[in-house]
Amino acid sequence: MSRRNKLQKFSDILSYPNVLENYDPKEAVLLGEGGAEIALKDKWNELHFKNNKPLVLELACGRGEYSIALARKYPNKNFLGVDVKGARIWKGATIAIEESLKNVAFLRTRIEFIESFIGGKEIDEIWITFPDPFLRKSKANRRLTSHFFLNKYKQILKDDHIIHLKTDSPQLYEFSLESLKEYPSAEIIYTSDDIYAEPLENPDLAFKTYYEKMHLEDNRLIKYIRFRI
């Protein structure tokens, strides 16, 4: 992608009403449409979505394919895609505007600072879709199912919650299973090391991101874990 194209996308999302951005993680400040500051922690449904529907996060959302697909299917829920890459978020945010999907928005920030922008017991469900597996052992703490991140999720999730992990990485899949087994109070509900080997246990797994389509073309197996903490 050319630098000019990226700059245009950054300019576009600055004017989008469905994208909230944080430029400095040391400052828990969100900028909304036109660069206006807005405080949404504990108030996403009240101030942004303006309803009291269940709120679902997609972490490492990339282009937002999952958030968009789920928002289309479940108009009775709100969806918030989270990623640090603005040029990627632009795609999902643009589609949402074109289709007038009012129940989906995007938060541009680093996931390790998620609790700075989302309040306690505010989230009903989390999807983690094809995150970077960070294969180096020295970077294990950056994997989105490490105890470091599970502790953060626990701060923002309601008691009756569900978390989904969808990945093509055998290493991340095995790491996640071990991480959950070692995490106090974690409950693994369902696992599969090849979701397409049999009829889908969860119909929402049929949605495919840009990256999943690439992985399937490379004959990689898609793995899934459903759990709560």
4 Cβ partners below 8 Å, 6+ apart? none
Q: What is the per-residue DSSP string for 90-124?
A: HHHHHHHHHTT-TTEEEEES-GGGGGGTS-TT-EE
Which listed residue (132, 160, 168, 218) is catalytic? 132
Q: What pairs with residue 104 in β-bridges?
A: 79
Our answer to whether residue 160 is catalytic in this structure is no
206 DSSP 8-state letter: G
Q: Where are the alpha helices (DSSP H) in 111-209?
A: 147-156, 170-182
Which helix (H) or strand (E) is 78 found in, with range? strand 78-83
CA distance 102 to 81: 13
CA distance 77 to 102: 10
CA distance 185 to 66: 28
Q: What pairs with residue 78 in β-bridges?
A: 55
Question: What positions carry a catalytic annotation?
Answer: 132
